[in-house]
């Protein structure tokens, strides 16, 4: 084993931090290390926490971690912020809140922000999770703000998804976006010290009753490989889980013990029902698909001349060529050894 792999498997914090920085910077050295770590992953409970900005996700994560530590479970916390360009270590506010946990070797806190595409962030997060998992952290809490596509990405990374809502976001039925309703395994109504928590709970219950007939988590199965492998993925599980709703006051820790119990119950349900294995297959299939896409595109680009690509783009823009035909031509040009371009390849063109 490589020295750094050994250090990570022993849970050495500096090695973990260095590996995650390499992943973030998309450095080539990260890959062989990840390959050696991979057989040691698959033990942790991966918990996604999402919801609208300011609902109290970070405060809740902090309280969850404190309870797990009291139960002697080790916890890694990954905050993913798709709206912020800042990265590398914790965002200041989170750092202050997490100070209760500072100095505890059983806790590791890390933030990641967008540096490029959301897809790139999701892949970096998936790889960081593998590092924590291999390092032996038993619970991995992944916080992301529920904006746009980000909550779907976190649902793909996690075994259990907590959606955090709060009273006072306006009309109850509007307060929760449809996308968040579909990915929730557990609902938390935080800021229950405010007016309207019971009304929000009633509205959520009503929406769950309406939606229960079609609770197949369709968003997780949209990709191309998913279609091919669909029958395998849908084999197990009747999906009889009804997301429980908990009210919490994260600032005092009130109600958070119940959420920890709910998380253990969901994990047990997934194991006994066979859906944990199903989710693992689904997660890995998605990851394979993302890597295939990246690799195929990179290989194509290596064989394609920049001049030819520009020429095709110009023709599409001026309506001389439709995008489908342009892609046919680009693919043919990228694959054929004797393609009509004089100088090939972005690197030497």
CA dihedral (80, 162, 156, 91) in degrees, to 10, reads: 0
Query: Candidates 101-109, 187-195, 233-241, 275-283 — which segment interacts with ligand GTP by CB under 6 A?
Result: 187-195
Spatial separation of the C-alpha atoms in residues 11 and 133, rounded to whole Å:
10
> Minimum CB separation from ligand GTP for residue 254, in Å?
8
Supply the DSSP string of 51-83, one letter for each residue.
ESTTSSHHHHHHHHHHHHHHTT--EEEEEEETT
Q: Which of ligand GTP, Mg ion, none does 266 bind, CB closer than 5 to 8 A by kind?
A: none
Count of residues interacting with ligand GTP (CB under 6 A) = 14
110 binding ligand GTP? (CB under 6 A): no
**Any idea how long the chain is?**
349
**Closest-CA residue to 190 (of 181, 202, 200):** 200
142 near ligand GTP (CB under 6 A) = no
Sketch the per residue contact string, 50 through 79, with ligand GTP: x for CB under 6 A, - otherwise: ---xxxxxxx--------------------
59 binds, options Mg ion, ligand GTP, none, Cβ within 5 to 8 A by partner type: ligand GTP
Beta strand pairing call for 245-247 and 107-113:
unpaired
Residue (of 25, 216, 48, 239) closest to 124 by Cα position: 25
Residue carrying structure tokens 């390849």:
345
Distances (CA, A) of 141 to 33, 42, 50, 133, 248: 23, 15, 11, 11, 17
> Does residue number 190 form part of the binding site for ligand GTP (CB under 6 A)?
yes
> Could you say whether residue 282 binds ligand GTP (CB under 6 A)?
no
Least distance (Å) between residue 64 CB and Mg ion? 13
Residue 58 makes contact with Mg ion by CB under 5 A: yes
50 binds, among ligand GTP, Mg ion, none (CB under 5 to 8 A by kind): none
Contact (Cβ atoms closer than 8 angstroms) between residue 203 and residue 284? no
Residue 251 is a binding residue for ligand GTP (CB under 6 A): yes
Query: Counting contacts by CB under 6 A, is residue 249 touching ligand GTP?
Result: yes
CB 191, min distance to ligand GTP, A: 4
* DSSP class of 184: -
Residue 249 near which of Mg ion, ligand GTP, none (CB within 5-8 Å, type-dependent): ligand GTP
Footprint on this chain of ligand GTP (rule: CB under 6 A): 53-59, 145, 190-191, 193, 249-251
């Amino acid at each position: 084993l490589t020295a750094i792999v050994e250090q990570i498997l022993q849970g050495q914090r500096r090695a973990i931090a260095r590996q995650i920085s390499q992943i973030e910077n998309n450095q080539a050295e990260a890959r062989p290390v990840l390959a050696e770590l991979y057989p040691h992953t698959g033990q942790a409970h991966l918990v996604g926490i999402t919801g609208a900005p300011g609902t109290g996700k970070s405060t809740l994560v902090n309280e969850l971690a404190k309870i797990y530590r009291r139960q002697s479970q080790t916890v890694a916390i990954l905050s993913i912020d798709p709206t912020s360009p800042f990265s590398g270590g914790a965002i200041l506010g989170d750092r202050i809140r997490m100070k209760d946990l500072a100095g505890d070797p059983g806790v590791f806190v890390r933030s990641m922000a967008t540096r490029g595409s959301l897809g790139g962030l999701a892949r970096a997060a998936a790889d960081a999770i593998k590092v924590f998992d291999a390092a032996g952290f038993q619970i991995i809490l992944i916080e992301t703000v529920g904006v746009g596509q980000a909550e779907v990405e976190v649902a793909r990374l996690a075994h259990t998804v907590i959606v955090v809502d709060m009273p006072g976001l306006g009309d109850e039925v509007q307060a929760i976006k449809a996308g968040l309703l579909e990915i929730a395994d557990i609902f938390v109504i935080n800021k229950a010290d405010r007016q309207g928590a019971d009304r929000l709970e009633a509205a959520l219950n009503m929406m769950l009753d309406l939606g229960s007939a079609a609770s197949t988590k369709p968003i997780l199965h949209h990709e191309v490989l998913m279609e091919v492998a669909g029958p395998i993925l849908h084999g197990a599980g009747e999906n009889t889980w009804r997301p429980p709703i908990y009210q919490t006051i994260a600032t005092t820790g009130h109600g958070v013990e119940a959420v920890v119990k709910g998380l253990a119950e969901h994990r047990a349900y997934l194991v006994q029902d066979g859906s944990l294995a199903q989710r693992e297959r689904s997660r890995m299939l998605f990851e394979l698909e993302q890597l295939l896409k990246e690799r195929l595109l990179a290989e194509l680009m290596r064989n394609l001349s920049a001049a030819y690509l520009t020429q095709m783009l110009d023709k599409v823009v001026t309506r001389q060529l439709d995008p489908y035909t342009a892609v046919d031509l680009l693919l043919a040009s990228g694959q054929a050894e004797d393609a009509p371009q004089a100088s090939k390849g972005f690197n030497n063109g």
